[in-house]
Chain A
Amino acid sequence: NAGVTQTPKFRILKIGQSMTLQCAQDMNHNYMYWYRQDPGMGLKLIYYSVGAGITDKGEVPNGYNVSRSTTEDFPLRLELAAPSQTSVYFCASSHRDREPPNYGYTFGSGTRLTVV
């Protein structure tokens, strides 16, 4: 099925470890996004990309890095994991127009990360 695929679904990291959260979409969307969701805090934008080779910081980029070498993939890298990065991470994508009929975002099912 077409959509946004995130891996892994769950991960436990020790403080100081690094990992990459994978995100892939097969809808040929130009825009891709990484959000983190903390209880009662809604969604905070970490990084976004408007196309291959172009990335930019969102609201909470510290401690994270991204790359966008292809249209399909937008991995999120945590270099030195900290307890404050315990969260649920969502990747999303959208069409360039971002308006109906190509409206809204398509979200992945999320990665639940715990840093201990």
Chain B
Amino acid sequence: GEDVEQSLFLSVREGDSSVINCTYTDSSSTYLYWYKQEPGAGLQLLTYIFSNMDMKQDQRLTVLLNKKDKHLSLRIADTQTGDSAIYFCAESMHGGSQGNLIFGKGTKLSVKP
């Protein structure tokens, strides 16, 4: 079956790095995504990684993918108070009949000044 697991909470100090981890079960997933949800808002796509990549960097964001262990992580460098939000990991399957993403429960990141 399909399942995406994340820890529910992470607390860091401003300026430190944050690492949010995710595990998934479907080895046929083609793309894996990170979404950010700020309080009272919908989800916004942060970044994605294709399953044949190991790493993707986009400014302060680094995504690491370990296909063997089905482990995905999102590293936020120099974390700011504005990064406080819930971060969702999601996987999709190429050509999946349902066409929907499978989301984790979300990790709430709290950044302390």
Contacts and interface: CB of A to CB of B under 8 A. Distances in A.
B72 to A, nearest CB: 15
Interface string A43-64: 1010010100000101000000
Contact of A109 (B41, B48, B99, B101): B41
Interface stretch (B62-70, B73-81, B102-110): B102-110
Contacts of A99: 30-31, 92, 94
Among B31, B100, B105, the most chain A Cβ lie within 10 Å of the Cβ of: B100
Contacts, number: 58
Interface residues of A, number: 25
Given A100-B50, A107-B42, A108-B42, A48 B98 contact: yes
A48 B42 contact: no
B100 A48 contact: yes
B88 interface: yes
Contact of A104 (B8, B42, B48, B98): B48
A42 B105 contact: yes
Contacts of A104: 33, 35, 45, 48
B27 interface: no
A99 B106 CA distance: 22
B58 to A, nearest CB: 13
Given A43-B88, A56-B98, A100 B31 contact: yes
Interface of B: 8, 30-31, 33, 35, 40-45, 48, 50, 88, 92, 94, 98-101, 103-106
Q: Name the 9 nearest CB pairs between A and B, nearest first.
A: A107-B42, A42-B105, A104-B45, A43-B103, A107-B43, A109-B42, A31-B99, A42-B103, A110-B42
10 contacts: A42-B88, A43-B43, A43-B103, A50-B99, A99-B94, A100-B31, A103-B45, A104-B45, A105-B43, A109-B42
